[in-house]
Structure 1
Amino acid sequence: MTSSERARDALAAITGVEAESPVPVEELIAKLDVQPDGEDRYLGHNFHSPNGRVFGGQVLAQALAAGARTVDPDRPPHSFHGYFLRPGDPSVPIELSVERLRDGRSFSARRVQAVQHGKPILSMIASFQEHAEGLDHQSPMPEVPRPDEVPSFRDRLLAAGHSVTELGPLLKAQPFELRHVQSPLFLSPGPEKVAEQAVWIRPTSPLPPGDLLHAIVLAYVSDYTVLEPTLRAHGLAWATAGMKTASLDHAMWFHRPARFDDWFLFVEESPSASGARGLGLAKIFAQDGTLVATVGQEGMFRVPA
């Protein structure tokens, strides 16, 4: 396998998209729009998977969408916590069952089970809140190069001598563009073993209006790179031979509504790795410095000795 082929396979596995089955933004939105299948039950349909497993971000986004379908539209999601229990099978739809835990004066809580073959693959609790005034502060966005000052992935491939003939179709197939402020980890480790990084991400075409839709799409893409600081800290890349990884759980807090039509900055770190697990945290900023969301995910990392 050539280095370009390894880079192609690593990128496809991380984003859940391969060149033979492109996912434009319009198709992404259609797939994340779960379909009613009975009282508080919905069906989610899958993308073709490059590695035989459903992309975790897809299941998270569809579970959040299902829960939101049972809540007053004036109560957007403010957080969710989910556990990945089994790999998803891309060949069959995902059954999403919503349990209405509580509807209070300001908050609503929902439990969503994503099921295939009679067994849960994801269990999530999501909370929704109507708009409220109150205390307001946020962490500042760090000073990093702007997205137009960061080489595109295509430019980095060319500089590294990879085949754009092989990788070009895959890059065009992606619904999001990623620009790592540091070097990407698809094929090679970073030059320094540090447990932090920053990545600019944007959709490849504008999203329709709607705060809920933008939150659901942001939940989908929040599963892209949040675990990379663990790899970077240990001099590893996604294409490291023999390494096995899996997402274990995922939590997300939506702080402020924002339109995900342009570049968002994902400021990521890994405060700990132990027990074959690594923790990744991400703060998500709009270009104007608004802190939009915070993400936490723990992943399993099994590295050959």
Structure 2
Amino acid sequence: MGDSRAANPVDRLVDLLDLERIDLNIFRGRSPDESLQRVFGGQVAGQALVAAGRTTDGERPVHSLHSYFLRPGTPGVPIVYQVERVRDGRSFTTRRVVAIQQGRIIFNLTASFHAPEPGFEHQVAMPDVPDPETLPTLFDEVRDHVGRLPAQLERMSRRHPFDLRYVERLRWTQEELKEVEPRSAVWMRAVGDLGEDPLVHVCALTYASDMTLLDAVRVPVEPLWGPRGFDMASLDHAMWFHRPFRADEWFLYQQESPIATGGRGLARGLIYDREGHLLVSVMQEGLFRRIGD
């Protein structure tokens, strides 16, 4: 494993994704002891995908993953990833991963890897949005609104591995949320060089994909970065990887929610590079319970 004392946020992220191999198909990942109620879901998904990828020959990039969050993980407690080598075919490789913490399964993932081959192409066009350089960082926008960052956000700003810049200004009151559509868009990139391993970039983006996707469900109901009225939890997460990319270069995460009902909200996202190439498609369902109910 890497040096867990890595000083900057990107080194910490790379270290987090550098699993310890304890047997042929068994890996162990760190879970930082942070002031969170549960382990961040993107961390578990990213680590599980690392475990799956490390049992392949590395010649076939991942093209899809489907996963379920079964129990909340406990911060500060290592997570063991057990990989099942389901299939090694001529074109496709399939892996199933179970994440275990303190003897209980907290997450499972199935990932499929595909040998590159030619084919016809089409895609949905990227929306016309401002360039990321013209937008404030998330933490600057919060700081400008409240005068200074609350202590928890100040710690987050120093440790966050991604630069986040919302395309539309954040809304801070219920009055501002009237007639807001259930969609959100944010530019992202890792705040430093992630190296040359393509699997690290894929797993880093998998980590990032869980950070803001459910914003699209919340945005018509409550301010994204104000006091929360709902307790949220990711239920599942699916991704389709269409093209190679670097997660330390700007990508646009366009997010929308087609429905929220029965205490659950569904969100879907499209991730583009700056040139407008569609890189990744994402789907996620989240649980939303009003705090105090």
TM-score, normalised to structure 2's length?
A: 0.91
One-letter code aligned to 1:48: D
Structure 1 stretch displaced more, 265-274 or 90-99 = 90-99
Match of 1:89 among 66, 74, 80: 74
Give 1:297's aligned residue. 284
RMSD: 2.0
Structure 1 stretch displaced more, 276-285 or 176-185 = 176-185
Give 1:172's aligned residue. 158
The answer (yes or no) to whether the contact 1:24–1:175 under 8 Å persists in 2 is yes
3-state SS of paired residue (1:202): strand
Task: Please give the per-residue CA displacement for 1:169-210, whole angstroms capped at 9, x wherever unaligned.
Answer: 53132111111112347x656645211111011111121012
Give 1:234's aligned residue. 221
Query: Are residues 1:69 and 2:59 paired?
Result: no
Task: Please give the per-residue CA displacement for 1:87-130, whole angstroms capped at 9, x wherever unaligned.
Answer: 00123210100011111110011110000121110011100011
Seen in structure 2, the aligned counterparts of structure 1 residues 44 and 272 have a Cα distance that, compared at 3 Å, is same
Structure 2 CA distance for aligned equivalents of residues 172 and 91 of structure 1: 19
One-letter code aligned to 1:268: Q
Give 1:201's aligned residue. 188
The answer (yes or no) to whether the contact 2:36–2:75 under 8 Å persists in 1 is no
Structure 1 stretch displaced more, 231-240 or 282-291 = 231-240
Give 2:44's aligned residue. 59
Match of 2:251 among 264, 285, 288: 264
Give 2:260's aligned residue. 273
The number of aligned residues is 284
5+ residue gaps, structure 2: 1-5
Task: Please give the per-residue CA displacement for 1:7-42, whole angstroms capped at 9, x wherever unaligned.
Answer: xxxxxxxxxxxxxx9761011101111111112010
The answer (yes or no) to whether the contact 2:20–2:27 under 8 Å persists in 1 is yes
Seen in structure 2, the aligned counterparts of structure 1 residues 274 and 22 have a Cα distance that, compared at 3 Å, is farther
5+ residue gaps, structure 1: 1-20
3-state SS of paired residue (1:37): strand
Give 1:5's aligned residue. none
Give 1:33's aligned residue. 18
Seen in structure 2, the aligned counterparts of structure 1 residues 105 and 59 have a Cα distance that, compared at 3 Å, is same
Superposed displacement of residue 259, structure 1: 1.4
The answer (yes or no) to whether the contact 2:184–2:255 under 8 Å persists in 1 is yes
3-state SS of paired residue (2:119): coil
Alignment of 1:82-231 (within 5 A): 82-164=67-149, 166=151, 167-184=153-170, 191-192=177-178, 193-231=180-218
3-state SS of paired residue (1:283): strand
The answer (yes or no) to whether the contact 1:49–1:55 under 8 Å persists in 2 is no
Match of 2:63 among 78, 85, 107: 78
TM-score, normalised to structure 1's length?
A: 0.87
The answer (yes or no) to whether the contact 2:222–2:228 under 8 Å persists in 1 is no
The answer (yes or no) to whether the contact 1:178–1:200 under 8 Å persists in 2 is yes
Q: Percent of counterpart pairs with the same letter?
A: 42
